[in-house]
Amino acid sequence: MTPDTADFWDGRTVMVTGGSGFLGSHLVDELRSRSDDVEVFVPRSSEYDLRERAAIRQAFVESGADTVIHLAATVGGIGANRKNPGRYFYDNAVMGIELIELARQFGVEKFTILGTICSYPNHTEVPFKEDDFFDGYPEETNAPYGIAKKALLTQSKAYRKQYDFNSIYLMPVNLYGPRDDFDIDSAHVIPAIIRKCLEARDRGDDSIIAWGTGEPTREFLHVTDAAHGILDATEELDRSEPVNLGSGAEISIRDLVETIADLTGFEGRIEWDTSKPDGQPRRKLDISRAERYFDWNASTDFEDGLRQTIEWYKSVRDEYPAGGVHHSG
């Protein structure tokens, strides 16, 4: 937030799809901290099926939203992507396409689309630059989800050109932090490893099994940094070009697992199941556009963020049934 945008949210009604989820809950907290005069409307999936045009129309009629931040997605890690390619394509494509079209019809002033770095071509040169976004096909496991999300960027550009519709398109790297999904079947890599290490430590296991070779690299962004970036961009950005949101730091899965084992107090061996897929070989973003366009940088130290996440999970882990968990990313 800058002095020029300090009152951006005052008097607005903001629809945050996915606002009760991991990223959404942090974003709503931050949004409310930026203005005492903002209405926040979170359409719950139990009441509004955002794959259905009638439900989206109802959400706009009932909320009167003039701003939309579209975070809702059907997502999962490698295992879930392999099981549900059709569902992941359909849900994410139709939800985004219909939301943007209905927002246009209802005169929405600003629409923020959350894309995904899974949309990048599989062999994009590292660091990933936004200009390379359309230069190939995504990694096969992520392609249905990635291409569904990529279609929304084309829609954003087309609607800006034909209707002067103000939408922006942001692509965060892998997120982590408190309130993440620690469910056995859908957890991404960081919560999956945290859970696996804590449960193995508590049982006194000699070893844990991690997926793949450990050689791929990933970049991670703390969820509160992502929330700040999305809101800063919504305030300041007015162009339909994709913008990466990341930390700028790259870590191998092997180093990540060893770091989490250390922070959780697991002292056993780490065994690698190389029959499991690695996913994309490297992921690291060029994050210079976000700094240039709306003066945003991530600020959370990675190990500090991991400690926060571990402590949060310890405080709620009774809500999760014990059991093994695979990891994916």
Catalytic residues: 145
Mark residue 212 as left, alpha or beta (left: phi above 0; alpha: psi -120 to 50; beta: remaining).
left
Longest dimension (CA), the chain: 62
**Three-class SS state of 304:** helix
Are 34 and 238 in contact by the 8 Å Cβ rule? The answer is: no
Q: Which of 20-36 are b and which e, b meaning 16 or more Cβ less than 10 Å from the residue's Cβ?
A: bbbbbbbbbebbeebbe
Are 69 and 233 in contact by the 8 Å Cβ rule? The answer is: no
Are 136 and 124 in contact by the 8 Å Cβ rule? The answer is: yes
Question: How many Å from the N-terminal Cα to the C-terminal Cα in the chain?
Answer: 31
> In this structure, what token pair is assigned to residue 31?
């949004």
Nearest to 158 by CA among 148, 145, 169: 169
Question: Quick count: other Cβ atoms within 10 Å of Cβ 289?
Answer: 18
Angle between helices 189-203 and 253-264 (to 10 degrees): 40
